[in-house]
Structures are given as C-alpha cells and as structure tokens.
Structure 1
Amino acid sequence: MLSYIARRLAFMVPTLILISIVSFVIIQLPPGDYLTTLVAQLSAQGETIEAGQLEALKQRYGLGESVFVQYTKWISAILLEGDFGQSFEWGRPVADLLSQRIGLTVVLALSTLLLTWVIAFPIGVYSAVKQYSPGDYVATTVGFLGLAIPNFMIALALMYLGFRLFGLSVGGLFSPQFVDSGWNLGKLLDLIGHLWVPMIVLGTAGTAGLIRILRANLLDELRKPYVVAARARGMPERRLLIKYPLRVALNPFISTVGWILPALVSGEIIVSQVLSLPTTGPLLLSALTSQDMYLAGSIILIVSVLTVIGTLLSDIALAWLDPRVRLRTK
C-alpha cells in the first residue's frame, strides 16, 4: 500500500507542473491582453489611461514580453511569495478574491457530494436487489428525469417554490443582512438554511447517474459464481450482499470524489449565475471574458491542484477498498 501511495505521489509532481503550464498557455490564446481590452473599453467611453500607468503595468507583469517570461514571473511569485498577482478587472489582489470564494466552493462541493451519496446509495442498492419491482421502475424513471432535466431549470423551479410557498430568499448562500458580516453562529445557520437549494440542484444529475451505475454494477456482481456459491452454502442474504458484491459495486462512489470540484466550477456556471452563488464559477467566467489572466489562471491552477489532490485521496481509498487496484500496479 505504501509503495502504491509513493508512486501516486511521484506522478503528482509532473502533473501539477504540466497543469500550471497548460493553464497559463490556455488563457494566453485569445488575441491581445487585458490592457488592450481596457484601453478599448475606455476609448469607447471617451476616457483614457495615462501612458506611465500603462507602462508600469506592462513591466510589472511582463505583458510586453514572451509567454515564457510571463509564466516564469507568475509561477515564481506564487511559489516563493504566495502572490497570485493582481486582478486587473477588480483592482485587488487575486489571493483576496479567491479567499472569499474557494472556501464556499469547497463547502458546497463536499455538501453536494455527501447528499449525492446519501440518496444514491440506498436507492441504487434497492433498485438492484429488487430488480423489476415497482420501486425499481420508480427509481429508474426518477433517475432518467434527473439526467434529462437541465439543472438551471430545477434551480428556477426551486427558487419559485421556495419564495412562493415559504417566503424564503433562496438566491445566493446568505441572506442580505449576513452577506458582509463576520462569521458567527447566526451566519453559519443562515448558510445552512440556504445551502439546501444549490445542493439539490447541483446533485440531481450526479445522483441519478450514480443510481444507474450502482444498480448496473451490483446486478453484474450478484450474477457472478462466487455470489451463487456463497448463497448455496447458506450465507444470509444481507451478509452476503454487504460483504462481497456491494463492496465491489461501491468503486464508482469512491473514484468520483476528485471530480466533484471541477464539475461544480466549470460545468455549473449557469446554475451559479441563476442562483447568484458566490463561488469560483462566475468569477472564472468573468475573468475569462475580460481576459483578466492572473485571476483566471490562478482559479484554474487552484481548482486543478485541488482536483489532483482529491483524485489522489479517492485513489488511495479505492485501493484500500478494492485490493485489485493496488495489486494491478505491482
């Protein structure tokens, strides 16, 4: 097990280096940079920017130099000083902007993951054990609906029902009086009260998909010879289910832990916009649109690093759960 973990850690280093390079190159692909966009916008509004200020920004971030020089300055500042650069659009350090959003993004991602597991696990097991029963048909129908209905449509429906029936302000993660306040018990409870809507919306498709995967995997395991032999020897059905086939069928639950964060950031930007969520998704979209390269590159880098770490943890848990994973790599 330790050798497996050591190999996975060794693979992480070049992976993170490549991620940082690719992240920086991708945001450099559009023509021009933020300063040219800023000058064009100011010109359209009849305003100008001083040449000295423009030149100072170019020299500080190497905007007039090669991509390699810009990348070297960017990654060196991050590693040596923890400085992610300055957001041109917001006029603030990138670290300050990210500190306000990364934490809430991770909390929402983990909450959505737990909700997905809590719902998908019992339904998937029941649907496989009671194949072709009325409950199985209901679960299958609900699963297909969850996969077919767009998440933003579910978000709009829940917002309407929450406001219409319960008088709740379901947009965002905080009530207006708690948005700018410091953390206390009241703000924490308010966050919990607002968290359920985005959790349900973001977890719908994932829950439906996991139900179908768990059902298919468990049905496949239940038909294998070792299960038939154990049943023939008189092993109780519940013990047989938990000890052998269910343990193998759980692999998709563990292996998808590292995917929840990038899916939340990149795949659910529309939902975040609809629900006014203060997460990194809308911030990344705004940064890419305005070519705010240091903000966009930092978000992509941090989310990618967290994804690699999450994937490492899920691989370790998967190797512990299923010995075939670690034995296959020897």
Structure 2
Amino acid sequence: MLTYVGRRLLVLLPVLFFISVVSFIIIQLPPGDYVTSLMARLESQGGNVDSAQLQALTEQYGLDEPIFMQYLRWIGNIVLHGDFGMSFSAKQSVSSLLADRLPLTVTLAVATLLFTWVVAFPIGVYTAVRQYSAGDYIFTTLGFIGVAVPNFLIALVLMWVGLKYLGQSVGGLFSPEYVDSAWNLGKLLDLLSHLWVPVVVLGTAGTAGLIRVLRANLLDELHKPYVVAARARGMNERRLTIKYPLRVALIPFVSTVGWVLPMLVSGEVIVAQVLSLPTTGPLLLDALTSQDMYLAGSLILILSVLTVIGTLISDVLLAWLDPRVRLQYH
C-alpha cells in the first residue's frame, strides 16, 4: 500500500507543474489584458482614458513582458515565497483575498461533502435492497427531481420560503452584525445557523446522483453468482450485503471525490451569486471578467490542485477497497 501511495505522490509533481503552465495559459487566451479591459470599461462609462497612466500600469504589472517571463515570475513567487501576486482590480495581494474567501469555501465544501455522503449512502443501500418497494419509488422520484432541478432554482425557492414564512433572509453565511466582526462563539454559531441552506442547495444534485450510482451498482452485485451462492448457504442477509456486494459497489461511490471536491470549492458560481456567498466562486468570475490574471490564475491553479488531491484520495480509497488496484502496482 505504501509503495502504491508513494508512486502516486511522485506522479503528482510533473502533473502539478503541467497544471500551473496550463492555468497561466488559460488566462492569457482572451485578447488583451487587464489594462485593455480597464480602458474599455472606462470608455463605456464615458470616462477619460489617460494613456500615460495605462502605460504606467502596464509597466508596473509587467504586462509588456513576454508571457514566459510573466509565468516564471508568478510561479517562482508562489513556490519560493508563497506569494500569489497582486490583484489588479482589488489593489491588494491575492493571498489576502484567498485568506478571506478560501477558509469559508473549504468549510462549505467539506460540510456539503459530508451531507452528500451521509444522506446518499443509507438511501442508496435501502433502495437497492428494497427494490420496487414504496420507499424505493419515493426516493427514486426525489432523486430524479434532485438531478433535474437546477441548484440556483432551489436556492431561489428557499430564499422565497425563508422570507415569506420565516421572516428572514437566507442569503450569505453571516447575519449583518457578524459580517465584519472578529471570530468568537457567537459568530461561529451564526455561521452554523446559516450554513445549512447552501449545504442543502449545493448537495442536492450530488446526493441524488450518488444515490442513483450506489443503487445501480449494488443491484448489479446483489444478483451475481457469488452472492446467490452465499445466500443459498444460509449466510445472514445483512452480513452478506455489507461484507461483499456493498464493498464492491462503493468503488464508483468513492471515486467521485476527485471531481466533487473542486466542484464544491468553486462554489457553484451561480448559486453563490444568488445566495450572496463569500466564497471563491464569485471572486473567480469577477477575476475572469476583468482579466485579473494573477487572481484568476491562482484560483484556477488552486481548483486544479484540489482536483489532483481529490483524485489521490479517491485512488487511496479505491486501493483500500479493492486489493486488485494495489496488486497491479507491485
């Protein structure tokens, strides 16, 4: 197992380097740069464009240098100093912006992931072992609705219900009096009281999808010859289900960590906009719109790294569940 994990970690190094290069190239693909975007925005608003000031901004941010020089400066500062550069539009360091948004985003992502698994796992198992029962039909119908209804629509419905029947807004993660206050027990409790809304909204589609995946795979395993033979020998049904078919059916279940983690951290940009969430999703959207390359590149790089980390976690869990994965690397 340690050999398998060690090899996977060695593969990550060139992958992370390639990801950093691709991330920087992606933000360079749109025509122009932050200065040209700023100039177009000022002209559309009827403002005066000072060419000397724009030239000074170009030189200040090194936008007149070759792309590879800009990349080397950016990645060098990240690796050597942990400095992600300056945000052009916010006029502050990218690190400080990430420090404000990333902890809340990770908290929301972890809470949503736990909610997804805690709800999807028992329902998926129940609908498989109780196939065609009333509960199976009910959960299957709810699952189809959860997959079909967009998350932002669920967010709008919850906002309307909260405002009309509960007399309070469900937007954001804090009450107005706690937004700018220092962290204390009251702020933590206020966060927990607001956290359930985005968790339910963001976790609905993922939960419904995982229920369908687990149900389909467990049904496939329950009808295989080794299960039929064990049942014929009088093996306890619950022990039989947990020890053999369920373990195999969990393989695609745990493999979703690789893509669920970055998807959740990206904040489902539309949902984050609707619920006014202080996460990285709206920040990334604003950075891409204004061509704020250091901020956008850093966020894309972080999301890509999370994808790699999620994939590593999935591979380790798969190796633990399925010995065949470990054996092929010996």
TM-score over 0.5 for the pair:
yes
Q: Secondary structure at the match of 1:250?
A: helix
Aligned residue for 1:47? Answer: 48
Aligned residue for 2:179? Answer: 179
Q: 1:20-46: per-residue Cα shift (whole Å, max 9, x none)? A: 000000100111100112223334432
Aligned residue for 1:318? Answer: 318
Give the whole-Å Cα distance in 1 for the aligned partners of 2:188 and 2:267. 27
Q: 1:115-172: per-residue Cα shift (whole Å, max 9, x none)? A: 1111111111111001111111111111111111111110011111122222232101
Aligned residue for 2:115? Answer: 115
Q: 1:52-100: per-residue Cα shift (whole Å, max 9, x none)? A: x544543343211211111011111111111111111111111000111
1:249 aligns with 2:245: no
How much does 1:321 deviate? 1.8
How much does 1:227 deviate? 0.9
Aligned-residue CA RMSD (Å): 1.5
Aligned length: 329
Give the whole-Å Cα distance in 2 for the aligned partners of 1:286 and 1:261. 22
Structure 2: tracts of 5 or more residues without a match? none
My pick for the range that moved more, 152-161 or 165-174, is 165-174
Identity %: 70
In the TM superposition, what are the counterparts of 1:7-46 in structure 2 within 5 Å?
A: 7-44=7-44, 45-46=46-47
In the TM superposition, what are the counterparts of 1:177-326 in structure 2 within 5 Å?
A: 177-266=177-266, 268-326=268-326
Is the Cα contact below 8 Å between 1:34 and 1:293 reproduced in 2?
Answer: yes
Q: Secondary structure at the match of 2:135?
A: helix
Change (3 A) 1:216 1:259: same
Give the whole-Å Cα distance in 2 for the aligned partners of 1:178 and 1:252. 41
Q: Secondary structure at the match of 2:297?
A: helix
Q: 1:256-293: per-residue Cα shift (whole Å, max 9, x none)? A: 12322321255711111000011101100010001011
Aligned residue for 1:62? Answer: 62
Is the Cα contact below 8 Å between 2:267 and 2:279 reproduced in 1?
Answer: no
1:100 aligns with 2:100: yes
How much does 1:47 deviate? 3.0
Q: Secondary structure at the match of 1:7?
A: helix
Is the Cα contact below 8 Å between 2:266 and 2:303 reproduced in 1?
Answer: no
How much does 1:324 deviate? 2.0
Q: 1:225-274: per-residue Cα shift (whole Å, max 9, x none)? A: 11111111211111111111111111223211232232125571111100
Specify the code of the residue in structure 1 equivalent to 2:320. W
Give the whole-Å Cα distance in 1 for the aligned partners of 2:182 and 2:303. 25
Q: Secondary structure at the match of 1:41?
A: helix
My pick for the range that moved more, 316-325 or 17-26, is 316-325
Q: Secondary structure at the match of 2:172?
A: coil
Specify the code of the residue in structure 2 equivalent to 1:46. G
My pick for the range that moved more, 261-270 or 94-103, is 261-270
Give the whole-Å Cα distance in 2 for the aligned partners of 1:253 and 1:304. 21
My pick for the range that moved more, 302-311 or 130-139, is 302-311
